[in-house]
Structure formats: C-alpha cells, structure tokens
Chains A and B, each alone.
Chain A
Amino acid sequence: MKNVILWLFGIEESALSDPVTIAAIIASFAVIAAVIAVFIVLAVKRRFRIREWGNKAWQRTKLITQSCFFMLTNSFMVGWFKGTIYQGKLKYLCVPGMNCYSCPGAWGACPIGSLQAIFNDFDAAKSWVDPKTGTYVKVPKYWFAFYVIGLMMLIGAVCGRLVCGLLCPFGWVQDLIYKIPVKKLRLPRDEMRIANSKHPKAVRFFLGLDKYLRYAKYAFLIVMVIFLPLMVKADPWFCKYVCPSGMLLGGIPLMSMNKSLADAAGSLTLLKLCILASLVVISIFLYRPFCRYICPLGAIYSFFNKVSLYRYGIDDASCNRAKGCAACAHACPMGVDPVRDPNSLECIRCGTCAASCPKKAIRPGFRFKTAEGNAIRTKKSK
C-alpha cells in the first residue's frame, strides 16, 4: 500500500515524515472520492440525459461536471499545499483539455504543451555546429508526434469537442467569467441574422469579422504549435508567448507560493499577464473568446466533430424549423445554428441547444434512429 502511494504521488519515502505531505495526500484522496461520488449521483439521477432536463437544470449539471473534472485532474494536493508540481508517472498521460502541466495540482500533461515538447526535441548525435555562422543546427528527433496526436485523435474520434463543452478547465474558467451579469455581445454567424440585427454598422462589421477571425485558431495551431517549435526549435512558442492557461493555472499559483519564482518575473511574465487579463475582460462580454479565436486544441478537436462516434443529430420529423422556430440557434452561445449544421466545427457540444429545444428534436449521442424510428440527421441541411 505504502509503495503504491509513493509511486502514485511520485514522492520519496522520506517525504512521508512530513505532516503537511500526509495531510495533502489525505486531502487528494478525499477530493477524488468526492468527485467520483458526485459523478455517480449525476449518472444515477440521469442528469446527463440533456434533453430530459430544461436548460436551467442542464446548465447546473454542466457546471458541476466541469468543476468536478477540474478538481479530479488537479487534485494533487501536495502541489497546492507546498507550491510544487506533480512529478510522478501519471504525467506520461495527457489530460483531454487545456490544463497546464505546471499547475501545482495537475496529475497529467497538457496535450498542446506535450505536442510542442516533442517537436522541440532534437537529436544531439545528428545536430551540428555550422562552421560559417557558428550556430548550433538542431536536427528534429521526431518529425511527427505519434503519441500525442494519437491520444488527441482517440479523444476526438470518440467525442469530438465534447471535451470543450464539459471537460476543459480553461473553457470552464471562461464560462464562470461569462456568468457576470452584464449585457452580452452575441455574435450570430450567419449573414442573414447579422444583416437583420439591430446593431449599429460598426458592430455589424465586427459580427461579420468574427466569422473569419475564427480561422485564427488554425493559424495558431499550424504556426505556433507545429511549425515554429519544429523548425526554429528552442521554445514551445505557444506556451511561451500566448497560452493564458499556463499563466492562470501554473504561473500565478506557483509564483504566489515561491518567492524565488516571483523574483524571476520579467517582461515575458508581463506579456502573458496582459494576454490573460485581456481574455478575462473580453470573456465577461463575449462567450469564450479564447476557444473561438485562439485555442489550438479546440482547433484539433474541431476536425473530429463531424466524424466522431458521439455526435449531435437532428430529428427532422420533430423539429419545428419549418414553422419558424429557431430557439436552438438563439440559445447557442457559440453562434452556431445546430439545425443547419449539427456538427459544426465551432460547436463545443455544450448541450445548451438540446436542452432549449421545445420539441426535443436535438439528439446528442451515439444513436442512428430515435426510439420512434425517426432518422437522426448528423449532416448539414441543404
């Protein structure tokens, strides 16, 4: 038993003589047990059957799920108590969401950080010093990240962006900030609704721009996560110059607990704090700006939305769209119209539309047909 705990927590035997470590280990188990209990209760009460609950009840279930998953994956309490990070073997595995591996509580690795680490790795035996310039030319050790891409592919093929809707800590943080009750900026994505909206011309221009800005996350993925770390080496570019999740979950807690780290803060810290602060402010008014425009992980999962096992589908026989209903499209915080495209790249599978449909015509899940035998359409409508 003792050896299992030492292995699991990645600590030396001598650490067990420290009462703080013992208390932290007990706290970790308590958090994990509590989270598992909550998930069991939610499952037994059928709270995950989105369509059976109204939107209000579903939003509560969603928030509980997001909070619990955050607690589960960040329950290495030794780190939180002592200002360190987890160094055990579970870090071989990546967690599904944007969860910095430098978060004191994180049990697993961040998939985007790991992807860059693999592209950053170089083969010392093949690398050489250019005699003309004197620079050290690093030859990549891996040209393709089979392990991390395989893990992301597995998650994507099973559930697509369901991770974004329910499991990602940074998505959860943005959801919490968006709860601040002020007037929100809603961005419908289709031109008709933009043209008909009552906003002034300048705002309408931005509404139109939003559609194109959403491609920026693919640019971040290609340039900062793949190209620069692979070809220029040295740095995990996205982590270093952009990622606000690293600053929020890793930087702020670690620096507040370690004076030596806080003393080392400089211009880069300021840059990352500014990015984080801007996103926090924008998140008050606009739903999930980071997920819309920046997140490379959301960009990767988005490719799987249309081909994953778990999909959104429309029971066209029940849907009232022909009679003018658009309750789902109005409810969608990401500006997607699920009836038109139930598995849009932009859909984070938050379930809001399915919980808001008065006809229960939106069918998230694995099924092909409804119990009544109606076909479930998962493709775009014509």
Chain B
Amino acid sequence: MKKESKTSRYLIPAALIVCALAFIVTGILDKEVLTVLRKAAAICMECIGLG
C-alpha cells in the first residue's frame, strides 16, 4: 500500500484552517455577522413552528 505522506496528513488541514480564518475575516468585514446576530437574538418563529 502507498505510504501516507506526513505533508498530506498535516498540510491539507493547515491550509483549510488558514482558508477558514480568511473566510471568517471576510464575513466579518462584509457585516455578515450583523445578519447572524439580528436573526439569532430574536425568537425565530419558523424555528419554533409558528411560521
């Protein structure tokens, strides 16, 4: 069987983590967090089955 390389074992997750952090910063700068807070801080009628 082909041996697993150390690089692929750790490099891929590291790259994904960096990418994820970049996404989070982009989202914050784009004010997506405000949409999240606005929705999350009021009772969501759809969630609780009242439509």
Any B CB within 8 A of the CB of A96: no
B40 pairs with A157, CB closer than 8 A: no
User: Does A333 interact with chain B (Cβ within 8 Å)?
Assistant: no
Known A150-B21, A150-B24; judge A102-B6 contact (CB<8 A): no
Contact residues of B between 1 and 35, Cβ < 8 Å to A = 1, 3-4, 6, 9-10, 12-14, 16-17, 19-28, 30, 32-33, 35
CB within 8 Å of B: which A128-173 residues: 141-142, 145-151, 153-154, 156-158
Q: Is the CB of A101 within 8 A of B47?
A: yes
Contact: A247 with B48, CB < 8 Å?
A: yes
Give B residues with C-beta under 8 Å from A: 1, 3-4, 6, 9-10, 12-14, 16-17, 19-28, 30, 32-33, 35-44, 46-51
Contact of A255 with B48 in the complex, beta carbons under 8 Å: yes
Which of A50-58, A86-94, A195-203, A318-326 forms contacts with chain B? A86-94
Chain A residues within an 8 Å CB radius of B35: 114, 117-118, 121, 141-142
> Which residues of B lie under 8 Å from residue A142 when comparing CB positions?
30, 32, 35
Across-interface contacts of B4 in A (CB, < 8 A): 368, 375, 377-379
Knowing A150-B20, A154-B17, A157-B13, the reply to whether A91 touches B49 (Cβ < 8 A) is no
Q: Are B47 and A150 in contact (CB under 8 A)?
A: no
16 contacts between A and B (CB under 8 A): A87-B42, A94-B36, A100-B44, A100-B47, A145-B27, A146-B24, A149-B23, A246-B48, A246-B49, A247-B48, A247-B49, A251-B48, A266-B51, A271-B49, A309-B13, A309-B14
Nearest first, the 7 A-B pairs at minimum CB distance are: A147-B27, A150-B23, A246-B47, A146-B27, A251-B48, A117-B39, A157-B16
- Are B13 and A102 within 8 A (Cβ)? no
Does A236 contact B9, Cβ atoms closer than 8 Å?
A: no
Q: Tell which of B1, B10, B33, B37 has the most Cβ of chain A within 10 Å.
A: B37
A235 and B46 contacting across the interface, CB-CB below 8 Å: yes
Q: Which residues of A contact B43 (CB under 8 A)?
A: 85, 102, 250, 254, 261
Q: Among B10, B36, B49, which residue has its beta carbon within 8 angstroms of that of A114?
A: B36
Interface of B is mostly: helix
Which residues of A are at the interface with B, using a C-beta cutoff of 8 A?
10, 85-89, 91-92, 94, 100-102, 108-110, 113-114, 117-118, 121, 141-142, 145-151, 153-154, 156-158, 235-236, 239-240, 243, 246-247, 250-251, 254-255, 261, 264-266, 268-269, 271-273, 304, 307-309, 368, 375, 377-379, 381-382
Residue numbers in A under 8 Å from B28 (CB-CB): 147
Closest A residue by C-beta to B30: A146
Please measure, in the bound complex, the distance between the C-alpha atom of A378 and the C-alpha atom of B41, giving whole angstroms.
41
Residue of A whose beta carbon sits closest to that of B13: A309
A149: chain B residues within 8 A (beta carbon): 23, 27
Residue of A nearest to B9 (CB): A368
| Complex CA distance for A157 and B15, rounded to whole angstroms | 9
Q: Which residues of A contact B37 (CB under 8 A)?
A: 89, 91-92, 109
CA distance A233 to B23 in the complex (A): 23
The distance from the CB of B9 to the nearest CB of chain A, in whole angstroms, is 6
